[in-house]
Structure 1
Amino acid sequence: MLANYLIGLREGLEAGLIVGILVAYLGKLGRRDLLGRLWVGIGIAVAVSLGVGALLTWGPYALTFQAQEVLGGALSLVAVAMVTWMIFWMGTHGAGLSKELRGQVDAAIDRSWIAIVVLGALSVGREGIETALFVWANVAGGSDPVLGTVGAVLGILTAVVISWGISRGLVRFNLSVFFTWTGLFLILVAAGVLAYGIGDLQEASVIPGWGTHAYSLTGVVPPGSWIDTVLGGIFNFTPEPTWAQVIGWLAYVIVTVALYLRLLQRRRFTSRASAVPSAPAATAPAPDPAAAPAVAGN
């Protein structure tokens, strides 16, 4: 539930910031007449996201067991790829997000009225589909479906309240720090989803090695115990993973964390460099009055 809550909170905050920037910029341009079209696009995005969530929840039941496992494994890999892209995209574009969105609004206004609807749908729809897919993959990996869904909904509702408070100037907190630490947390969550997806593909005989455990931690984490439930619900932990799951988990965490920390270091260096005042431009020295030629008197 905690993992899904943070997923809903983070994605909801991203969507809330995007909506806030779009609404504020249209107001600044004096084009509040376009807000209705923007909200139509946002409504379409929400409907599509709910539709994707419903399709993922009830669609696979008509498939055979092997087809369900292949589909579950493939969608888990897609979810990991999408959330990883989202983490790095926010890390690289977060600082210039407002400027980028304002440019998209200008371009949409110049094209046609439908472009504003499309902009609203795409800007929010990406976050909604990512949330639906990743929450589904996390729930499918072992979380209680009801608690997982409730956690995601509570996270989204919290994000709505925070976004409203930010727009009204009632809430102030460091969004950069929030996105940085939740990014690291979601990398661990995504690693668990990846391991679950690999297990599904092994069960479907797409990847060999199912049934051969790399190690067993059942003595430390008994199946069905509270710690097994907590770790399984948050990180898709399994006490008896296969070798493919262990290798996939380790490879993903090592590579992704290293790249993410490098991104943070580069961003910190860039922000420090931009904060250093530039040296004043060199100016020609003032003429020395003593060196001026004497003017001969009459």
Structure 2
Amino acid sequence: MFGNYLIGLREGLEASLVVCILIAYLVKTDNKSRLTPVWTGVAIAVALSLAFGALLQFGSSTLTFQAQEILGGTLSILSVGLVTWMVFWMRRTARHLKSELQDKLDAALALGSGALVITALFAVGREGLETSLFIWTAVQASGDGLRPLVGALLGLATSVVLGWLFYKGTLRIDLAEFFRWTGAMLVLVAAGVLAYGIHDLQEGDILPGLRNVAFDISDTIPADSWYGTLLKGVFNFQPDPTVIQVIVWLLYLVPVMATFLAPARDRSSATASQPASQPSAE
């Protein structure tokens, strides 16, 4: 549940920050009359994200078991790729996100209301679709009923509250550091989702080695124990993974985590020590 809470918080906070930056900039530049197109774009993005999540859930339920495993495995790998790109992109652009969005908003203001709708739609929609896909694959990987979904919804709700506090200027944190460490946690969660996706493809007869188990510690960490459930909910832990799962997990986690945590070469120490500015309506 915590892993899915982290996904909802991390992904939802990005979308919340985008929205409050757009709204705060329009308010600051005396363009309150142009808020409606922005909110329209946000509403469309949210609706599309919910529809995409519903399509994944209900569409997959009509498939055969083998087709479900192939679909789940493929989407798990796709979602891990998208999330990996996202955490690296946000780590690189967190300090410049505000100015980049304001530049796009300036161009949209010059073009009219339709451009504002599209700007908000694309800015929020990308985050929403990524969130829907990753939450769906993480929930499928955990296989723990409604609790993973509840965790994700709580994370999204927390991100909305944090976004509102950012907008009001009552909450200030170093966003670069926040996204750095939550991103590292997401890389760990993504490694588990990737391993589960490989297992799905093995069960769908796309990959071999389903019976070739690397180790089995089910007696030490039973899957139905509270700590086994906790490890599975947070890290998608499996007590009896296949050899291919372990290999893929290591090949993903070790280089990606090392690269992500390595100091960025293009940043000076002075820049890295400065706190990220927060959007405010004042």
With the length of structure 2 as denominator, give the TM-score of the two structures.
0.92
3-state SS of the aligned residue for 1:45? helix
Counterpart code for 1:62: T
Within a 5 Å distance, the mapping from 1:244-283 to structure 2 comes to 244-262=244-262, 265-266=263-264, 270-272=267-269, 274=271
Match of 1:125 in 2: 125
Q: Kindly state the Cα deviation for residue 76 of structure 1 after the two structures are TM-superposed.
A: 0.4
3-state SS of the aligned residue for 1:218? coil
Q: How many residues align?
A: 273
Which has the higher mean CA deviation after the structures are superposed, 219-228 or 229-238?
Answer: 219-228
Query: Does residue 1:41 correspond to 2:38, yes or no?
Result: no
Query: Does residue 1:4 correspond to 2:4, yes or no?
Result: yes
Give yes or no for contact 1:143–1:234 (8 Å, CA) kept in 2: no
- Aligned partners of 2:272 and 2:222: how far apart in 1? 53
Q: Kindly state the Cα deviation for residue 28 of structure 1 after the two structures are TM-superposed.
A: 2.4
| Change in CA separation of 1:223 and 1:153 when aligned onto 2, cut-off 3 Å | closer
CA-to-partner distance for each residue in 1:221-243, whole Å, 9 max, x for gaps? 12311111111111111111111
3-state SS of the aligned residue for 2:67? helix
Structure 2 unaligned blocks of 5 or more:
274-282
Match of 2:151 in 1: 151
Match of 1:282 in 2: none
Query: Does residue 1:182 correspond to 2:179, yes or no?
Result: no
Match of 2:242 in 1: 242
Counterpart code for 2:187: I
Counterpart code for 2:264: R
Q: Which of the two has higher C-alpha Rg?
A: 1
Q: Kindly state the Cα deviation for residue 95 of structure 1 after the two structures are TM-superposed.
A: 1.0
Match of 2:279 in 1: none
3-state SS of the aligned residue for 1:104? helix
Give yes or no for contact 2:20–2:166 (8 Å, CA) kept in 1: no
3-state SS of the aligned residue for 1:165? helix
Match of 2:276 in 1: none
| Change in CA separation of 1:221 and 1:274 when aligned onto 2, cut-off 3 Å | closer
Match of 1:199 in 2: 199
Q: Kindly state the Cα deviation for residue 56 of structure 1 after the two structures are TM-superposed.
A: 1.2
- Aligned partners of 2:14 and 2:158: how far apart in 1? 12
Give yes or no for contact 2:8–2:153 (8 Å, CA) kept in 1: yes
- Aligned partners of 1:222 and 1:155: how far apart in 2? 28
Higher relative contact order (CA 8 A, sep 6+): 2
With the length of structure 1 as denominator, give the TM-score of the two structures.
0.88
Query: Does residue 1:171 correspond to 2:171, yes or no?
Result: yes
- Aligned partners of 1:143 and 1:170: how far apart in 2? 38
Give yes or no for contact 1:144–1:233 (8 Å, CA) kept in 2: yes
- Aligned partners of 2:92 and 2:166: how far apart in 1? 22
CA-to-partner distance for each residue in 1:157-181, whole Å, 9 max, x for gaps? 1111111112112223332222111
3-state SS of the aligned residue for 2:153? helix
Q: Kindly state the Cα deviation for residue 251 of structure 1 after the two structures are TM-superposed.
A: 0.4
Give yes or no for contact 1:69–1:203 (8 Å, CA) kept in 2: yes
- Aligned partners of 1:214 and 1:52: how far apart in 2? 36
Which has the higher mean CA deviation after the structures are superposed, 171-180 or 6-15?
Answer: 171-180
- Aligned partners of 1:142 and 1:7: how far apart in 2? 13
Match of 1:22 in 2: 22
